Amino acid sequence: MSTGNPLPVSVFNTLLLKLVNIVEITESAEGPLTHQARQALLQATNEFKDGMSKARELSNALPGGELLIQEQDEIIEMLERLRERKQQQLVDFSNRVFATNKIIEDAKMEIDSMASTPFAPSSS
């Protein structure tokens, strides 16, 4: 199992194929009447059952899988509020930086303006 994705999707993808195999066996021309067809159906059913068992194990092993739906909803709401608060902090910080930069630019322009103005000694 890779560390990037804690849930191997391939296990779940094969479940549908296994179920389709069961349906095809039961709807085949022979049907489940012959010994060979019954053996194939038994094998296909066991493979599906094993796949479901593996999928259930993987689902139960997911972090947070022990939480009730209501608890998951509460955590999601808390995380959404946290995200909104962080976004507001980012906007506030950005506004402060912009205001500070504006003050610095205004001061630079004033200094440049004063530097380019010729000095006129006062007549006393």
- Per-block mean pLDDT, blocks of 10 residues, the chain (124 long): 60 88 81 78 93 88 77 91 94 86 79 67 59
What would the DSSP string read from start to end of 90-103? Answer: HHHHHHHHHHHHHH
Give the pLDDT confidence score for residue 49 in this predicted structure. 95
pLDDT at residue 2, as a whole number: 42
Whether 92 maps to a domain, the answer reads yes
| CA-to-CA dists, residue 65 to 18, 53, 60, 91, 98, angstroms | 25, 16, 6, 35, 44
Q: What pLDDT does residue 6 have?
A: 61
Residue matched to tokens 């092993």 = 61
The pLDDT of residue 119 is 62
User: How many domains does one find in the chain?
Assistant: 2
Would 120 be classed as within a structural domain? no
Domain that holds residue 79: 67-115
Please indicate, yes or no, if residue 1 is contained in any of the structural domains: no
Q: How many CA atoms lie within 13 A of 49 on its CB side?
A: 6
Q: What is the pLDDT of residues 20-45, one digit of tens each?
A: 988 888 887 666 578 888 888 899 99
Is residue 58 one of the residues assigned to a domain?
Answer: yes
